[in-house]
Chain A
């Protein structure tokens, strides 16, 4: 039982990070019908920016995160602006465009920060909490709390603000939204901006858990993408459920299948997707794509 619960705890904190990555994928997808293949690299950029402000500029961790999120969101805007002319021509070109951006970001990261990477010390240095023989890292709780808060804010933005409602409208029917005077380009830009901001949040949070290197986003990007598909691509609650599910699944397969854990994780993923191709929360709003 102890192993079981400790395994769940281990999976949940990385799962929360996967969920944040999945949210970014889903938000752009539901608004534009586009899979942003550069998303994983944007996570890496966010992680490097956050760790740079935290370690080199000596800003407090929270402030470093805010600055990193702001800068990374601006990068999201740039990506959208460059790709915008392609949107009404050929959609596949836009997909290739995001792959291209991913490669460019990867090269830029190595040019700016080098290839070796860096370790980020935990901003919450206190000892793990001991509970019924289980040990919970305090930083894991911080990660969970911030991820939960970010999700609530995003949902509130989408459902309660005019701009958010406009984005929902574009997601549901692109042409009808244009007809009633919603600026689709602006809506897309905001989706990209928030998506990149979420990526920076995920990258910044995961820094102290893992090791910040140019390869960081690749691994997180694939798991986050799988999480988004598992939850139902484009669905906000789906991204959360999918992220946590992938995190916990990963943690269990690691315990039982050892060297073959990655294989088993993705086999289970494939079976679920075959049984339920729209994912757990398959939404109607993604039909636009």
Chain B
């Protein structure tokens, strides 16, 4: 009897999982094509709204929403309002590919997202086939490797982040004793390869090169072996929460080394998870250090605060830039679709929060980051 029940339970779960996975793809929808000349312009935001990566998805949605609302308040594009719809990919490439089919069948002109490179890479071939331009917040060099002329990045790739970081730590500070902890997810893998390449080009080998899983919660073994090597700097290639846990546990184990990383290590979630005291001094390579950098970022941060009642940060800024570029391209191209819209995006020169965007053939529009340091729980420009 026990066995029967167990078998029934397992098959039930399996059936349910299949139903859930397939249930997401809607059958052929007969909504109006928005490629037509009237009605709202339909843009999809695809991002994790649930699961471990949902904070990224929430920030990105806010950035995109802010940009769209600003355009709509000024009459939209060519007199047409912009309709922004959200789809939850749960940070899962399988769900992402289902959503790619869905936004194609429902006639969306373009897509904003996702924030997870692995999901975007999985969606890229389908979006390319459907000729739907996609502006992603991912930064993995694998995005460029996907080779789709419909895929654009709203920020620099890991190569840029990590080259700037290596330049600061090795060439600037003269530190050679460096340990690496990266995770085996899409983002961590990209960071691992990019930072290792930057080290190799300076003939430096990391003292320890540890890989963790994305779900890992306890890092005692990894950190204890790092402690024995006593590195000066520990490079982190993992998302916000995991990086925060690593730093918290490292400090509990008595590791005093400075941490360094790219975009996730500059976020409030990272600092909160690690604890402000533990994160103090973390070196961050980021294209958007703070809301106080210039007039544009101050204006953006004020609007963001007024709308969502929270402080703006990098991911919101990136999505805002990406959405502005898309809307600008829609305007200049007279609401073109498919290949014409992709070309219009490529041709758009945009002065954004992250810097001056000018896209090349690979879909990357920006090639520099700055170095910031965490001081008293806030990211400030290095040297200030």
Task: Establish whether residues A289 and B2, one from each chain, have CB atoms under 8 Å apart when the complex forms.
Answer: yes
User: What CA separation (Å) do A112 and B103 show in the bound complex?
Assistant: 28
Q: How far is the CB of B228 from chain A (nearest CB, A)?
A: 7
User: What CA separation (Å) do A117 and B13 show in the bound complex?
Assistant: 27
Known: A135-B252, A214-B50. A10 touches B219 (CB 8 A): yes
Write out the residue numbers on chain B whose beta carbons fall within 8 Å of the beta carbon of A256.
221
Look across to chain B and name the residue whose beta carbon is closest to the beta carbon of A17. Answer: B217
Known: A116-B58, A215-B51. A7 touches B16 (CB 8 A): no
Interface residues of A (CB under 8 A from B): 2-3, 6-7, 9-11, 14, 33, 35, 37, 91-92, 95-96, 99, 106, 110, 114-119, 121, 128, 130, 135, 137, 209-211, 213-215, 219, 247, 250-252, 254-256, 258-262, 286-287, 289
Task: Establish whether residues B184 and A259, one from each chain, have CB atoms under 8 Å apart when the complex forms.
Answer: yes
Task: Establish whether residues B224 and A3, one from each chain, have CB atoms under 8 Å apart when the complex forms.
Answer: yes
Look across to chain B and name the residue whose beta carbon is closest to the beta carbon of A117. Answer: B55
Look across to chain B and name the residue whose beta carbon is closest to the beta carbon of A136. Answer: B252
Write out the residue numbers on chain B whose beta carbons fall within 8 Å of the beta carbon of A11.
218, 220
User: What CA separation (Å) do A119 and B254 show in the bound complex?
Assistant: 21
Q: A9-B220, A213-B54, A215-B51 are in contact. List 17 more A-B contacts (CB 8 A).
A: A6-B221, A14-B217, A33-B5, A92-B12, A114-B58, A121-B275, A213-B52, A254-B221, A254-B222, A255-B221, A255-B224, A255-B225, A258-B222, A259-B183, A261-B212, A262-B216, A287-B2
Task: Establish whether residues A128 and B217, one from each chain, have CB atoms under 8 Å apart when the complex forms.
Answer: no
Q: How far is the CB of B229 from chain A (nearest CB, A)?
A: 11
Our count of residue pairs bridging A and B at CB distance below 8 angstroms stands at 135
Write out the residue numbers on chain A whose beta carbons fall within 8 Å of the beta carbon of B57.
115
Interface residues of B (CB under 8 A from A): 1-2, 5, 8-9, 12-13, 16, 49-52, 54-55, 57-58, 183-184, 210-213, 215-222, 224-225, 228, 241, 244-245, 249, 252-254, 269, 272-273, 275
Task: Establish whether residues A254 and B219, one from each chain, have CB atoms under 8 Å apart when the complex forms.
Answer: yes
User: Could you write out 17 A-B pairs with CB less than 8 Å apart?
Assistant: A3-B225, A7-B220, A10-B249, A35-B9, A91-B5, A99-B12, A116-B54, A119-B272, A135-B253, A211-B241, A214-B51, A215-B52, A215-B54, A251-B218, A259-B183, A262-B216, A289-B2
Task: Establish whether residues A211 and B221, one from each chain, have CB atoms under 8 Å apart when the complex forms.
Answer: no
Task: Establish whether residues B220 and A251, one from each chain, have CB atoms under 8 Å apart when the complex forms.
Answer: yes
Write out the residue numbers on chain A whose beta carbons fall within 8 Å of the beta carbon of B8.
92, 95
Write out the residue numbers on chain A whose beta carbons fall within 8 Å of the beta carbon of B217.
14, 209-210, 219
Task: Establish whether residues A96 and B244, one from each chain, have CB atoms under 8 Å apart when the complex forms.
Answer: no
Q: Tell me which of A37, A99, A118, A255 has the highest count of chain B C-beta atoms within 10 A of its own C-beta.
A: A255
Q: How far is the CB of A34 from chain B (nearest CB, A)?
A: 9
Task: Establish whether residues B213 and A261, one from each chain, have CB atoms under 8 Å apart when the complex forms.
Answer: yes
Task: Establish whether residues A6 and B253, one from each chain, have CB atoms under 8 Å apart when the complex forms.
Answer: yes
Look across to chain A and name the residue whose beta carbon is closest to the beta carbon of B49. Answer: A115
User: What CA separation (Å) do A130 and B252 show in the bound complex?
Assistant: 10
User: What CA separation (Å) do A110 and B50 show in the bound complex?
Assistant: 8
Q: Tell me which of A7, A35, A91, A254 has the highest count of chain B C-beta atoms within 10 A of its own C-beta.
A: A254
Q: Tell me which of A95, A213, A250, A262 has the highest count of chain B C-beta atoms within 10 A of its own C-beta.
A: A213
User: What CA separation (Å) do A191 and B125 show in the bound complex?
Assistant: 51
Write out the residue numbers on chain B whose beta carbons fall within 8 Å of the beta carbon of A106.
50
Q: Which of A14, A211, A215, A261 contacts B244 (CB 8 A)?
A: A211
Task: Establish whether residues B252 and A137, one from each chain, have CB atoms under 8 Å apart when the complex forms.
Answer: yes
Q: How far is the CB of B56 from chain A (nearest CB, A)?
A: 9
User: What CA separation (Å) do A262 and B185 show in the bound complex?
Assistant: 13
Task: Establish whether residues A128 and B221, one from each chain, have CB atoms under 8 Å apart when the complex forms.
Answer: no
User: What CA separation (Å) do A289 and B249 show in the bound complex?
Assistant: 42
Task: Establish whether residues B51 and A7, one from each chain, have CB atoms under 8 Å apart when the complex forms.
Answer: no
Look across to chain B and name the residue whose beta carbon is closest to the beta carbon of A288. Answer: B1
Write out the residue numbers on chain A whose beta carbons fall within 8 Å of the beta carbon of B55.
115-117, 213
Look across to chain B and name the residue whose beta carbon is closest to the beta carbon of A99. Answer: B16
Task: Establish whether residues A10 and B220, one from each chain, have CB atoms under 8 Å apart when the complex forms.
Answer: yes
Write out the residue numbers on chain B whose beta carbons fall within 8 Å of the beta carbon of A135.
252-254
Task: Establish whether residues B13 and A6, one from each chain, have CB atoms under 8 Å apart when the complex forms.
Answer: no
Task: Establish whether residues B2 and A119, one from each chain, have CB atoms under 8 Å apart when the complex forms.
Answer: no
Task: Establish whether residues A7 and B2, one from each chain, have CB atoms under 8 Å apart when the complex forms.
Answer: no
Known: A3-B228, A117-B241, A259-B213. A10 touches B221 (CB 8 A): yes
Task: Establish whether residues A95 and B221, one from each chain, have CB atoms under 8 Å apart when the complex forms.
Answer: no
Write out the residue numbers on chain B whose beta carbons fall within 8 Å of the beta carbon of A247.
218
User: What CA separation (Å) do A250 and B222 show in the bound complex?
Assistant: 12
Known: A118-B272, A211-B244. A259 touches B211 (CB 8 A): yes
Write out the residue numbers on chain A whose beta carbons fall within 8 Å of the beta carbon of B273.
119, 211
Write out the residue numbers on chain A whose beta carbons fall within 8 Å of the beta carbon of B49.
110, 115
Known: A106-B50, A210-B245. A254 touches B216 (CB 8 A): yes
User: What CA separation (Å) do A11 and B219 show in the bound complex?
Assistant: 9
Top 3 nearest A-B pairs by Cβ distance? A10-B220, A255-B221, A115-B54
Q: How far is the CB of B24 from chain A (nearest CB, A)?
A: 14
Write out the residue numbers on chain B whose beta carbons fall within 8 Å of the beta carbon of A6.
220-221, 224, 253
